[in-house]
Amino acid sequence: VNWKDIYDRGSSVFGGAVSGGLDSCTVTHWLHQNGVNVHCFTVDLGQPDEENLQAVADRMMVCGASEATIVPGKEMLAQAGLKVLQAQARYEGGYWNTTGIARPITVKAILEKLQDNDINVLFHGATGRGNDQVRFQLTSNMLQPGMDVYAPWRDQEFLDKFPGRQQMIDYCELNNLPIRSARESRYSTDANFLGLTHEAGDLEDVSISPDFVEPGMGVWPWDAPDKPEYVTIDWNAGIPIALNGSELDLIEMFQESNSIAGKNGVGIGTHVIENRFVGIKSRGIYESPGMELLGKSWEYLLQFVLDRRAREFYTNLS
């Protein structure tokens, strides 16, 4: 769908799901230059790689957004993360599906804001190579069928202008947009407090060891302390309620588990060549220390309460 087709139907305001990265800055400025009134929305998912989410909103305003809003999403993500744990939802190679589960949360949170502001168009910067194209589209279609979804990477006009990442970098530098040092980045990272996903760039060269990736939620196992740390987790009705004797809410549980597991190299650096829904393969390095710690604890608990046949059935379902 071309942006102008949507615009000509009377939708002059587009609401964007943005992270503040290269795609977000490029799309926001380009739409603004074409006369679109752009409202940007960033969902607070406890991103470990963003010390100040307000800085994202500030960047988007510089890029031409008329409004930039931070939307709360940590509570919804914690509940979704619990469901991932309970389902033992690990994808190929055993990595926890932390990025995938965050997309419906992001879309749901933003759709509510779009509805409040009478905005009928959602745009996103997901590329054509990834599963996020499908996640954003299907979630929007299911939750709000009347919402137009504009995906720049499926718009031929946008593709002609920006055939690749380098053209976007050149465009942002030409227009003095506040992008990060994209030229020096060897890979891209997607983050929320459940986990980090590293991919693209030099990671696409399978002849290069992935140990150049700098963990964001802990340390590589070989850099972890050479001594054990013991952890006790209390569960009640399928929910972790206490860690080492301290009662915690679900968000705190994930955060504290991340801290303990991450510093010990647990759940850091899972290396996978995955099959994507859209039909391509992708190499990724994954971090989910808290999910790994809590997930193993839940897995042991299942062994206590389920017989062999029920346990096998549980695994097949998950």
297 and 263 housed in the same domain:
yes
203 and 278 housed in the same domain:
yes
Residue that terminates a domain, selected from 184, 209, 228: 184
147 and 209 housed in the same domain:
no
pTM of the predicted model, to two decimals? 0.91
Instruction: Give the dihedral sign, CA 88/93/98/100.
Output: negative
Give 181's pLDDT tier (boundaries 50, 70, 90): low
> Which residues are annotated as catalytic?
23, 103, 132, 188
215 backbone φψ class: left, alpha, beta (φ>0; ψ -120 to 50): beta
Q: Which domain range does residue 28 map to? A: 3-184
Give 182's pLDDT tier (boundaries 50, 70, 90): low
194 and 179 housed in the same domain:
no
196 and 79 housed in the same domain:
no
3-state SS string for the chain: CCHHHHHHCCCCEEEEECCCCHHHHHHHHHHHHCCCEEEEEEEECCCCCCCCHHHHHHHHHHCCCCEEEEEECHHHHHHHHHHHHHHCCECHHHCECHHHHHHHHHHHHHHHHHHHCCCCEEEECCCCCCCHHHHHHHHHHHHCCCCEEECHHHCHHHHHHCCCHHHHHHHHHHCCCCCCCHHHCCCEEEEECCEEEEECHHHHCCCCCHHHCCCCCCCCHHHCCCCCCCCCEEEECCEEEEECCEECCHHHHHHHHHHHHHHCCCCEEEEEEEECCCCCEEEEEEECHHHHHHHHHHHHHHHHHCCHHHHHHHHHHC
136 and 38 housed in the same domain:
yes
Position 204 pLDDT exceeds 80: yes
225 and 177 housed in the same domain:
no
Residue that terminates a domain, selected from 154, 184, 214: 184
Q: What is the pLDDT of residues 246-269, one digit of tens each?
A: 999 999 999 999 999 999 999 999
Give 1's pLDDT tier (boundaries 50, 70, 90): confident
What is the predicted pLDDT for the residue at 54? 93
10 and 76 housed in the same domain:
yes
CATH code of residue 287: 3.90.1260.10
150 and 226 housed in the same domain:
no
162 and 139 housed in the same domain:
yes
142 and 220 housed in the same domain:
no
Q: For the chain, what is the domain count?
A: 2
Q: What is the pLDDT of residues 33-72, one digit of tens each?
A: 999 999 999 999 999 888 889 999 999 999 999 999 999 9
178 and 196 housed in the same domain:
no
Instruction: Give the dihedral sign, CA 229/259/99/239.
Output: positive
CATH code of residue 116: 3.40.50.620
Residue that terminates a domain, selected from 150, 184, 218: 184
Share of the chain above pLDDT 90, in %: 80
What tokens appear for 142 in the block?
């299911």
